[in-house]
Structure 1
Amino acid sequence: MKKFFSAVLAVIMVLALVACGSNQASSAASASTPASDSPASSASSAEVKVEPITVRISAGPSGGNNFLICAAFADQMMKTFPEYTISAEISNGTAQNIRATAENEAQMCVAMSDGAMYAYEAGREYTDLEAGQFAYVAGGYQTIIHFMVPANSSVESIYDLKGSKIAASQGTTCQYYLPIVLEAYGMTTDDVEVTQLQLADMMNALSDGTVDAAMHITSYPLAAISDVAATKGIKILNIVDKEAEYIHENYPFFSPMIIAGGSYQGISEDVQTIGTLNTLICRSDLSEEFVYNFVKTIMENNDTLKNVHPKCGDFNLDNTLTGAVIPIHPGAEKYYKEAGIL
């Protein structure tokens, strides 16, 4: 009987050793199997779980550059982060964008650099807002001052315009930008006769000689300007040297910029002038994680986005900080430091 039990015990021990060896072999095989072969690891390493959030971007008129750009950004973000709900919202421009963001109807918006600065400081037309409630996200495409005279005009410099009739486009350009430019040339609006007109009417007035000069700020080329350049001919006056330096030092949202020669018929050489950027700003309390992911996504998908809309391509690492005239949001700052531009 003892021999029988000894034999049974021996068999059990052998079976246990075989099972143990099999498990060890299985573990070793699993460890040596590439991670990509495992169903659990088949998900893209780019997929990162994020906190769901809804963000509205107050952009601009439907069909306009800013609306289309923001819509492209929103679409790319939601493809990359399905947890996010982002929308581009229709507006009539910077002032409405800023006020919508201040009231939390939007959490991010497009603003010209000067609008961003004065909104942050609660200055100029934003004295009723609380200061410090905005932060900088990214800078995009240029909007450049076009100070124009007829091609056959004897005027060669803004200095020559004292006593002249000047038309400026309605709103910020006439109310704020024209006085800044005149100031750099030792003049005020009292030294000229100013007419505030819509763009089409202003270009007609320049074309038919009702005014001596016209000023507008825009990206280029602009069809309304191109039409007059082709039919009547124009000169675009330079804003350069000490005058441009004066403007930048006293109004830092303006920087030297160039209208490339050939952009308008009859203007073969580069025009040196000044301009500002269309920027993205946000509420200072917007999620740091979201802003980091937003900036990273639009910067690292630049080639894809500019195929959707060419101006999306101007939101890039080369110029994104040019319009940073208010504090940079911590989420954006984190990415810019990683990218080596801060």
Structure 2
Amino acid sequence: MVRARFVFPVVLLSIVAATGLAVQWWREQHQVYRLVIATGGAQGEYYAFGQALATVVAQHHPDIAINVLETEGSQQNIELLQQGQAQLAIIQSDTPPQPSARALAFLFPEVFHLIARSDANIRSFGDLRGKRVALMPEGSGSYKLFWALSQHYYLTAADFTALPMSPDAAYAALRQGEVDALSRVMALGNPALAELLRTSQSQLVPIDQVEALRLSLPYLEATQIPKGTYDGAVPIPAEDLPVVSVRAVLISHAELDPKLTRAITQTLFEFRNELVVLHPRTATIRLPEAGENLGLPLHPGAKAYYEQDRPVFWVEYAEPIGLLFSVGVLAASGLWQLRLWLDGRQKNRADRYNLEIVALMEQIQTANDLTELETIRYQLFEILRQVVVDLDKDRISPESFQSFTFPWETAITTLRHREMLLMNARSQPPVSPDLSSN
């Protein structure tokens, strides 16, 4: 009787414990992690990338829901991360780090653009003295980099009129002659900037002295705005234009669950082609090289992904590997020739696509019918689909894909412009003949 009295509570406690463990397991299996990623303005590259990342992560990791937050830029993003209001953020590589920030990956390059009115007599950064300059909002990476560059040219706030404002307001001010120049850091080929350069009396200004700038700003990279990036017909710019750039970096809070950061990092590289379809510039994302400094410590989850293929068995099988290496040396020259052949084949394939784009651009210029333009639009997107497939199957290289995106986006922009011209012409009433003289 006494034994039965003790058995019942034990059985009851066991059932309760088993039920609790089952409930906990079920919750873990069905839990949805809701994250916030701080990006930038709604018309900018950071926001567009954040939306693409959220979409692809949700497709492959349904337990992760990412909310894309519009912000004023890098400085605000890292502050939101520090305050715990965001778990992910995109910042420029020149943004001062915070103790709570950890790096996940380098994203696409961000190029410093200086645009000046053609009648403002601004041919270099130093010519901004005495001018009115529209800057991006305070706290943005563009704002910070402008002032860092101005120090190199010995320009202070007293030497010109700095007017921080939103990108849309800055573009409008330049069109209306209310400012002489504007500066903004963004990925190449931005459609809004292309429209500004084509429809206003303005021009891009080169930024040279990159190696001298790197003495005090080591995060800067030398790059170029390729000829025709913003208009292939004119072209804009007329020649390859030397400028400087920084890298966009995807970061997270140090305390974010490593399994989440690993899943997000995995998405960047294993599902990159899906990201490219939504945001073509993600084609430039690359795995960090061994020992590469991203400007911040790596998050443990991202580090685990990068090191997942580290070959531990090399030590255990040192002798057979040595034999294989000896055999490999004998075949090295043949493999090298094969690689050269494959590289050449990839380049030839990419060149063929670019020639198709050029041919379609010529058709766009002469098209006089909206139906014809719609056919050309279908052909352009079919070419893009083929290129993405070829990138996925390593038929073309990421570098070739990056060079392809410029003429493709130029063709799409030219097609839209041609459509507008045809629609405007169609909407004009016919001119009646003047019969008053009869």
Q: CA deviation at 1:138?
A: 1.3
Q: Which has the higher contact order (CA 8 A, sep 6+)?
A: 1
Contact 1:97-1:111 within 8 A present in 2 as well: yes
Partner of 1:134: 101
Contact 2:92-2:141 within 8 A present in 1 as well: no
2:242 to 272, 275, 282: 272
Partner of 2:70: 91
Q: CA deviation at 1:185?
A: 1.4
Q: CA deviation at 1:222?
A: 3.2
- Following TM superposition, the consecutive aligned residue runs of length 4 or more in structure 1 with deviations greater than 6 angstroms are 49-53
1:287 to 249, 253, 257: 257
Contact 1:279-1:323 within 8 A present in 2 as well: no
Alignment partners' CA distance in 1, 2:256 and 2:244? 32
Alignment partners' CA distance in 2, 1:76 and 1:324? 24
Partner of 1:300: 270
The residue identity in structure 2 corresponding to 1:193 is T
Partner of 1:324: 294
Partner of 2:94: 114
Alignment partners' CA distance in 1, 2:168 and 2:48? 23
Q: Which protein is bigger by CA-based radius of gyration? A: 1
Alignment partners' CA distance in 1, 2:53 and 2:187? 20
1:186 to 131, 142, 154: 154
1:70 to 36, 50, 59: 50
Q: CA deviation at 1:282?
A: 0.8
Partner of 1:44: none
Alignment partners' CA distance in 1, 2:228 and 2:309? 34
Q: CA deviation at 1:302?
A: 0.9
Partner of 1:124: none
Seq. identity, %: 20
Corresponding residue SS for 2:94: helix
Q: CA deviation at 1:337?
A: 4.4
Work out whether 1:101 is the aligned partner of 2:81: yes
2:122 to 136, 139, 155: 155
Change (3 A) 1:155 1:89: closer
TM-score computed with the length of structure 1 as normaliser: 0.67
Alignment partners' CA distance in 1, 2:48 and 2:64? 17
Q: Please give the root-mean-square deviation of Cα atoms over the aligned residues, in Å.
A: 3.5
The residue identity in structure 1 corresponding to 2:257 is S
Work out whether 1:215 is the aligned partner of 2:183: yes
Alignment partners' CA distance in 1, 2:33 and 2:152? 44
Bigger helix fraction:
2
Partner of 1:28: none
Residues 218-257 of structure 1 aligned to structure 2 (within 5 Å)? 218-241=186-209, 244-257=210-223
Alignment partners' CA distance in 1, 2:54 and 2:176? 44
Change (3 A) 1:148 1:250: same
Alignment partners' CA distance in 2, 1:202 and 1:222? 15
Q: CA deviation at 1:257?
A: 3.0
Alignment partners' CA distance in 2, 1:51 and 1:100? 28
The residue identity in structure 1 corresponding to 2:160 is V
Corresponding residue SS for 1:114: coil
Q: CA deviation at 1:200?
A: 3.5
Q: Deviations over 1:278-322 (max 9, x none)?
A: 321111122333323321232121112211332443433379x98
Alignment partners' CA distance in 2, 1:210 and 1:73? 37
Contact 2:109-2:247 within 8 A present in 1 as well: yes
Contact 1:182-1:189 within 8 A present in 2 as well: no
Alignment partners' CA distance in 2, 1:188 and 1:110? 29
Alignment partners' CA distance in 2, 1:173 and 1:281? 15
Bigger CA drift: 164-173 or 300-309?
164-173
The aligned length equals 276
Contact 2:117-2:174 within 8 A present in 1 as well: yes
Unaligned runs of 5+ in 2: 1-27, 311-438
Q: Deviations over 1:61-120 (max 9, x none)?
A: 6676444533443443344445x33322323244443333323343222223333xx242
Contact 1:180-1:247 within 8 A present in 2 as well: no
Contact 1:253-1:323 within 8 A present in 2 as well: no
Q: CA deviation at 1:275?
A: 2.5
Corresponding residue SS for 2:230: coil
The residue identity in structure 2 corresponding to 1:147 is L
TM-score computed with the length of structure 2 as normaliser: 0.54
Q: CA deviation at 1:202?
A: 2.9
